[in-house]
Amino acid sequence: MANTYINILVHTVFSTKNRERWLSPSLRERLYPYLCGIARENKFKVLSAGGVDNHSHILLSLNSTISIAKAIQFLKGGSSKWIHETFPEQKLFSWQEGYGAFSIGISNVDETVKYIENQENHHKKIGFQDEYLNFLRKNNVEFDVKYLWGE
């Protein structure tokens, strides 16, 4: 083949440090479009972004030039800086160090977008830690719970 064509779809999840409730609805309303801009600047796409006050879900479309780790670094680093500059009262804000990244197929995009958009309702029934554990188990990710939360 003369060219390379890649579309890697990844559902990412990352929490605020210690799952503190920093992400108010008004902040999230501005944060998610900002994350889309970070992605555009770095040649990848945010297909959907959502979450609640202590964590975010981002559906990414990555190309051959960027790794998952680099994309997350751009998103978390850029958004932390923006939050500190835009919301001075949030000077102590930070994201948890780690993240989850789970591959999805093209046939699961609509379902994943609905899941991300429905985070407010979803978390009336289940907390973040249980949700995250479910993701890890569903995706057959090996983990030791004593190292999971970084506290």
Q: Which numeric CATH code is attached to 8-140?
A: 3.30.70.1290
What pLDDT, on a 0 to 100 scale, did the predictor assign at position 148? Answer: 79
Each residue's pLDDT tens digit, 23-41: 999 999 999 999 999 999 9
- What is the number of residues in the chain? 151
- Residue among 149, 137, 139 nearest 55 (CA): 149
On the CB side of 59, how many CA atoms lie within 13 Å of its CA? 18
Where do the structural domains in the chain lie, given as residue ranges?
Answer: 8-140
Burial class from Cβ neighbours inside 10 Å (0-12, 13-18, 19+) for residue 60 reads: buried
Q: Are 150 and 97 in contact (CB under 8 A)?
A: yes
Report the DSSP pairing between strands 55-62 and 100-103.
unpaired
What pLDDT, on a 0 to 100 scale, did the predictor assign at position 151? Answer: 59
What pLDDT, on a 0 to 100 scale, did the predictor assign at position 61? Answer: 98
What pLDDT, on a 0 to 100 scale, did the predictor assign at position 5? Answer: 85
- Residue among 6, 20, 14, 105 nearest 54 (CA): 20
Reported pTM: 0.91
Beta-bridge mates of residue 52: 55
What pLDDT, on a 0 to 100 scale, did the predictor assign at position 4? Answer: 85
Tokens encoding 119? 């985070």
Each residue's pLDDT tens digit, 118-150: 998 888 899 888 898 888 999 888 988 877 776
Each residue's pLDDT tens digit, 30-70: 999 999 999 999 999 999 999 999 999 999 999 999 999 99
Res. 72: pLDDT tops 70: yes
What pLDDT, on a 0 to 100 scale, did the predictor assign at position 145? Answer: 80
